[in-house]
Structure 1
């Protein structure tokens, strides 16, 4: 049922003039999903209070609750069409009353980690792009079919939402900023191995893939106590995100995975001066895929000892600084970091090797990230002791990765298994830190067994991809014709 509802929502958004990309579809579905979730949450809390003989104090005033403005019901439990507004009346209410009211919560909130603050932040940053009040009514009716009451329902919705984020990531360069392949995230988590009680941080949170998958990883442990569950809800997962759309998606994704009040702050992480980070600000674990290729302004660069315009290199400095002594990191970064000869790269490699034990480097093939041509590596390190030995693994799935051949968990199984033993193989080897050049600190991936063999696809695989691309092109052309 939920899958059909999601499909119906996308079908309506596709007809909407104000929404032109997968990013728009996800954004607009997200704010509506959030309000439906909030209503279900408040209904549950009201019922719980009534059972205890108490009165629940609603967050939203009555006229702004989902059951009043979006989906008023009659005694038969069905939509009351006499009370449910549509067309221009509905659109105007959302734009001129609902959004300003919800944005006002930011000023009322007691702090950035409250649900009130998040309501204010979300509705101050995004806009309703659904210009037709009739389309908006149709979408609301489909979203009203969704239920967030049980864990089973949330689990199904989280899978559908993840698929939506993945589609957005595949839609092009901008969408790809928000999506890190989940098999890669799961492999990173297995290597870093977070434990309950440790605080996990992602300062470039995107769609919150690292935090959501870490929650799944930790909640799958046997013997969880009520105290453990409370710790996972309130004091485990932390993130920061600069972009409005990603912030909204991260909040919604974590909620759907079962984290009711996500500790996500909407801010540019890099505006924080490294000198101001104190022990109380530090985390046990950092896992992230920071944006690369961006250029930060000189005033932002002033916050860092190693000044560079490259966003990813500033993030790496931030992550090293914000880790506790003994803290563990798993960071995705472009592979040119390992060998670039510019001053900032050399200094940053020196800092990493001297202040952290860089124990593992995972070399990812091209095509790991859909829509991004750059090759990446994952750096695994522990803060507080210098690097002694680096274990390298060259990931070679045996096929070219692409939209029709994405990375899967099986591709990374050997890496996870061999990493635990630092085992040598045709794809893995170790380098003693003493042999690293003390001038360049070059960490290039150089497989002593040759490696880097090109994975040749079978004719059947090539024909399959051509057919998929042809179908995709035909769909785009049909969409264009429909708009003309």
Structure 2
């Protein structure tokens, strides 16, 4: 958790860009990412030099040529503004564009880096402000970058790139990744899902990922993210780097394209919030996806993609628009039938419609399913989330301190009414046990596969939720009218008395 002082320093960096004329939040984030990358290279250089001095061996692993000290952050940050601007623009950026470290995800995405800060004064101010932000501790680095990413959403543009962090955390907690998992997000954006998975692993499996083959798997083979926006790839790569993952697989890829079909069955866990809107030309879409579901709708194609990417036994937690749950087209019905009959649909968690405000008011849900290729859906667990800890208007104000899910134990009634997410997590732990006995009038309940089949594979929660109507006794209309007559007489009597008193006063 970053302090108020650290937030103020980040805010000052952001304000420096805005006051300098760079108002596009993605461009601000991209420029900050470049500068943080350059600063990190200098940190690596200093570590290499210290290691060489201690071991009395030649320097290894140094990012910069030793003789080119002007490329180092610690050197040029002390230059006069004009000299700093010329050095960074003409020397440092050309250098990082030509880095060809095949083992470095981050260097790969710097190949088209450019400095868009327009003048020496602004660059000097930004470098000075960034230099004052302490980023040596791993948790601090990650939290500071996450805070910067949150400012993309709060700035009023490009908020669609950022799924609310507390919703991501809920999904990761429910999926509970294991050290041997291979995790993919085919629409990774800023890598929020992958970052949350790294945090879960460090919290729950630290011993497994800190040494030996476990560490190698964690840093090189566990995390995979694809996107076709180079800015997002740069930001996502830096996000993973600052959260301590050395070489994640973050790649440029149109996940739905015909050319990208070589990793079928390669992953054990999918975490994603794929694009909701838009449609694709059949010619550009992988033919094997259309064999699962023949459609141009991206939300359905991505679900088909998730099934292709998962190995048998692999699991998925993905956000979908409500239309996926009840759409009546052949493609919608076919896909839901596939999930229920051919695989194991585990749960449908209905989210409030304001979760993605102010950018979208679309109603959404989280689908949880397991790829089996042989069925296995005995029942589906439903939960109706009515509150997520934030107001459901455009302001999305926090209703409780922080956005933590809290312990699995039930919260107090007042807290539960403001944030259902801890309860979701607690009841999910019993979805194959106590939850089977809940009535459909409750906030969560289970529905047998047979009942879903009878409803044409409709997965909307309201199709199965039962509403209890309480009998209310009303007074007879004649009694109410008599009471109104009496009130009317009382009013007229009071007015007459008031007029009499006024008349007497006038005399």
TM-score interval, normalised by the smaller of the two chains: 0.7 to 0.9
> Is 2:362 the counterpart of 1:374?
yes
The equivalent residue for 2:191 is 208
* Distance across 1 between alignment mates of 2:330 and 2:116: 45
Give the deviation of 1:43 after TM superposition. Answer: 1.9
The equivalent residue for 1:325 is 312
CA deviation string 1:401-458 (max 9, x = no partner): 233435843430111111121213621122111222479432122252339xxxxxxx
Give the deviation of 1:208 after TM superposition. Answer: 1.2
> Is 2:349 the counterpart of 1:362?
yes
> Is 2:24 the counterpart of 1:8?
no
Name which of 128, 131, 140 aligns with 1:156: 140
The equivalent residue for 1:290 is 274
CA deviation string 1:193-233 (max 9, x = no partner): 11112111111111111111111111112660523334322
Give the deviation of 1:290 after TM superposition. Answer: 0.9
* Preserved contact between residue 200 and residue 236 of structure 1 (Cα < 8 Å): yes
Q: Calculate the aligned-residue CA RMSD, in Å.
A: 2.7
Would the alpha carbon gap of residues 314 and 416 (structure 1) be closer, same or farther in structure 2, given more than 3 Å must change?
A: same
> Is 2:234 the counterpart of 1:248?
yes
* Preserved contact between residue 379 and residue 449 of structure 2 (Cα < 8 Å): yes
Name which of 411, 415, 433 aligns with 2:420: 411
Give the deviation of 1:3 after TM superposition. Answer: 3.5
* Distance across 2 between alignment mates of 1:434 and 1:64: 71
Larger Rg computed on CA atoms: 2
Give the alignment of 1:392-411 within 5 angstroms.
392-397=382-387, 400-402=391-393, 403-406=395-398, 408=403, 409=405, 410-411=419-420
* Distance across 2 between alignment mates of 1:316 and 1:334: 12
Structure number with higher relative contact order (C-alpha < 8 Å, ≥ 6 residues apart): 1
* Preserved contact between residue 381 and residue 445 of structure 2 (Cα < 8 Å): yes
Three-state SS of the structure 2 residue aligned to 1:224 is helix
CA deviation string 1:360-399 (max 9, x = no partner): 1000001112321111110001110422211100001288
Give the deviation of 1:283 after TM superposition. Answer: 0.8
The equivalent residue for 1:41 is 44
Tell me whether 268-277 or 289-298 shows the greater mean CA deviation: 268-277
The equivalent residue for 2:409 is none
* Preserved contact between residue 181 and residue 369 of structure 1 (Cα < 8 Å): yes
The equivalent residue for 2:109 is 121
* Distance across 2 between alignment mates of 1:406 and 1:39: 38
* Distance across 1 between alignment mates of 2:303 and 2:74: 47
* Distance across 2 between alignment mates of 1:266 and 1:274: 11
* Runs of 5+ unmatched residues, structure 2: 406-418, 469-507
Give the alignment of 1:384-395 within 5 angstroms.
384=372, 385-386=374-375, 387-395=377-385
Three-state SS of the structure 2 residue aligned to 1:331 is strand
* Preserved contact between residue 62 and residue 68 of structure 1 (Cα < 8 Å): no
Would the alpha carbon gap of residues 104 and 272 (structure 1) be closer, same or farther in structure 2, given more than 3 Å must change?
A: farther
Would the alpha carbon gap of residues 347 and 60 (structure 1) be closer, same or farther in structure 2, given more than 3 Å must change?
A: farther
Q: TM-score, normalised by structure 1?
A: 0.81
* Preserved contact between residue 36 and residue 143 of structure 1 (Cα < 8 Å): no
The equivalent residue for 2:179 is 196
* Preserved contact between residue 341 and residue 440 of structure 1 (Cα < 8 Å): no
Give the alignment of 1:71-86 within 5 angstroms.
71-72=74-75, 80=78, 84-86=79-81
> Is 2:97 the counterpart of 1:103?
yes
* Preserved contact between residue 257 and residue 286 of structure 2 (Cα < 8 Å): no
Give the deviation of 1:27 after TM superposition. Answer: 1.9
Three-state SS of the structure 2 residue aligned to 1:429 is strand
Name which of 126, 130, 141 aligns with 1:143: 130
Would the alpha carbon gap of residues 416 and 14 (structure 1) be closer, same or farther in structure 2, given more than 3 Å must change?
A: same
> Is 2:339 the counterpart of 1:339?
no
Give the deviation of 1:287 after TM superposition. Answer: 0.7
Would the alpha carbon gap of residues 229 and 274 (structure 1) be closer, same or farther in structure 2, given more than 3 Å must change?
A: closer
Name which of 467, 474, 488 aligns with 1:450: 467
* Runs of 5+ unmatched residues, structure 1: 74-78, 452-484
Would the alpha carbon gap of residues 338 and 157 (structure 1) be closer, same or farther in structure 2, given more than 3 Å must change?
A: same
